[in-house]
């Protein structure tokens, strides 16, 4: 059974991200499952630190993007609610060099009426874990 309350295609999710930090970093949504959302991101000069490895803050942007979009998909369009990130943490487990690729998968820990908790796991192109993150999203009244 699907956790999603909104129907969206990958093309719609990617179009929604145009002209944002998401598109600037090359983040692309690639899969919507029954209980997960997946995206990938290339590791280019735009995403690395001076040592030419993926910047940890960029990993956090990918994680928060996945969790925030997942929360949008988990609320009814007429709910009058807007998801906003409340807290995020990230444990960086392995570096990814420039020229690599990162894939993130987001799954719910808990989907409540006012707060969503997400677990986001990032992997390199060899499917090795590179970052483990948790995101808390609050549903506030839309303005």
Q: List phi, psi (to 5°) of 32.
A: -120, 115
Rounded CA separation 48/110 (Å): 32
101 catalytic? Reply is no
How far is C-alpha 77 from the chain's CA centre? 20
Terminal CA-CA length for the chain: 31
Of the candidates 28, 31, 64, 98, the residue annotated as catalytic is 64
Instruction: Catalogue the active-site residues.
Output: 64
């Amino acid at each position: 059974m699907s956790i999603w309350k909104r129907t969206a295609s990958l093309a719609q999710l990617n179009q929604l991200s145009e002209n944002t930090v998401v598109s600037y970093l090359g983040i692309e949504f690639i899969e919507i499952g029954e209980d997960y959302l997946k995206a990938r991101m290339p590791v280019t000069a735009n995403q690395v630190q001076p040592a030419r490895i993926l910047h940890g803050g960029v990993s956090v942007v990918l994680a928060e993007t996945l969790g925030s979009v997942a929360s949008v998909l988990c609320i009814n369009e007429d709910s009058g609610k807007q998801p906003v990130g409340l807290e995020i943490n990230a444990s960086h487990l392995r570096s990814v060099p420039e020229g690599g690729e990162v894939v993130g998968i987001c799954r719910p820990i808990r989907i409540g009426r006012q707060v969503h908790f997400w677990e986001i796991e990032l992997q390199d192109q060899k499917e090795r874990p590179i970052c483990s993150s948790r995101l808390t999203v609050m549903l506030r009244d839309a303005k």
